[in-house]
């Protein structure tokens, strides 16, 4: 049994939304409400974030995926569509690799199957050094503004307040786990069910051309690139993002 914290809203077939880094389930609050008339929307806190207990130091994203899979089994949330934002997408890919039978579809929301480049790994190491020196709150709040295409967007302070709750162990642990995660292109190739890519035209961390290359590897891909969006479409273009996801869900 797992003791991950989660919220569940609405009725219908299951949709699991996995939050990004360094956030928790509250980042989905207003966005998830767009689906609850037709679906049961489940928003868990990843281990160590929000109200979920942490994993032991040195954990991998595969171990995080194990926790989420056990959560799905414990709560009878199988036959779900799994949608992960950023870090949540990395976890969703690991879950789909391990137990593709549990999921009717997979959504990568500003996320990628590619492993970190050497440049990105160096950036992760610097982030760990910063957290060790300045603390998790300083890192987490500074991390948020560049995720938006508009540095004055009204949702930035809300997301900062969510990120500011992150504990040092979780911030460092997930930074290292993301750095060391494997390439998951093979999972995209082997996953037989529909796969959604929702990308931002102005996302500095995930180039649009890389999303097109990944979609070409999938058996049943669907790709949407949102204009004037960086990495936070649930706030930057919520109506359009929700419309694309709703269309994807309706086809499954």
pLDDT surpassing 90 at residue 1? no
Number of structural domains, the chain?
Answer: 1
| Confidence grade of residue 2 (pLDDT, cut at 50, 70, 90) | confident
pLDDT tens, position by position, 156-192: 999 999 999 999 999 999 999 999 999 999 999 999 9
Q: How many CB atoms lie within 10 A of CB 230?
A: 22
Percentage of the chain beyond pLDDT 90 is: 98
- Within-domain flag for 127: no
Q: Specify which residues 82 forms β-bridges with.
A: 16, 106
Model confidence at 94: pLDDT above 80 = yes
**Local confidence band at 50 (pLDDT 50, 70, 90 cut-offs):** very high
Residue 245 lies in a domain: yes
Q: What range defines the domain where residue 44 resides?
A: 6-115+182-250
In a domain, 13, yes or no: yes
Check: pTM over 0.85? Answer yes or no: yes
pLDDT above 80 for 37: yes
**Which pLDDT score, from 0 to 100, does residue 211 have?**
97
How many residues would you count in the chain?
252
Q: Which pLDDT value is given to residue 85?
A: 98
Residue 75 resides in a domain: yes
Q: Is the pLDDT of residue 119 over 90?
A: yes
Task: Determine the Cα–Cα distance for residues 48 and 3; give it in Å rounded to an integer.
Answer: 11
Predicted confidence (pLDDT) at residue 131 exceeds the cutoff of 80: yes
Q: Mean pLDDT across the stretch 152-158?
A: 97
Nearest-5° angle of CA 163, CA 180, CA 151? 35
Contact 49, 6 (CB under 8 A): no
Residues 6+ apart with CB under 8 A from 193: 100, 103, 104, 105, 106, 219, 220, 252
CATH number for the domain harbouring residue 61: 3.40.50.1820
């Amino acid at each position: 049994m797992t003791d991950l914290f989660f919220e569940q809203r609405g009725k219908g077939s299951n949709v699991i939304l996995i939050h990004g880094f360094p956030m928790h389930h509250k980042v989905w609050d207003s966005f998830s409400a767009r689906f609850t008339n037709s679906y049961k929307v489940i928003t868990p806190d990843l281990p160590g974030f929000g109200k979920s207990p942490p994993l032991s130091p040195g954990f991998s994203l595969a171990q995080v995926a194990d926790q989420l899979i056990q959560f799905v089994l414990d709560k009878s949330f199988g036959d779900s569509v799994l949608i992960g934002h950023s870090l949540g997408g990395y976890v969703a890919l690991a879950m789909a690799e391990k137990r593709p039978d549990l999921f009717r579809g997979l959504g990568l929301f500003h996320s990628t199957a590619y492993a970190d480049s050497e440049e990105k790994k160096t950036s992760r190491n610097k982030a760990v050094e910063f957290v060790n020196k300045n603390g998790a709150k300083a890192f987490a709040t500074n991390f948020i503004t560049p995720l938006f295409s508009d540095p004055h967007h009204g949702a930035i302070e809300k997301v900062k307040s969510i990120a500011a709750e992150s504990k040092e162990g979780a911030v460092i642990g997930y930074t290292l786990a993301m750095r060391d995660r494997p390439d998951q292109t093979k999972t995209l190739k082997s996953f037989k069910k529909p796969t959604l890519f929702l990308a931002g035209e102005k996302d500095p961390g995930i180039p649009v051309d890389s999303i097109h290359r990944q979609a070409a590897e999938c058996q049943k891909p669907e790709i949407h690139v949102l204009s004037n969006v960086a990495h936070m479409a649930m706030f930057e273009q919520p109506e359009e993002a929700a419309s694309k996801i709703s269309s994807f869900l309706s086809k499954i």
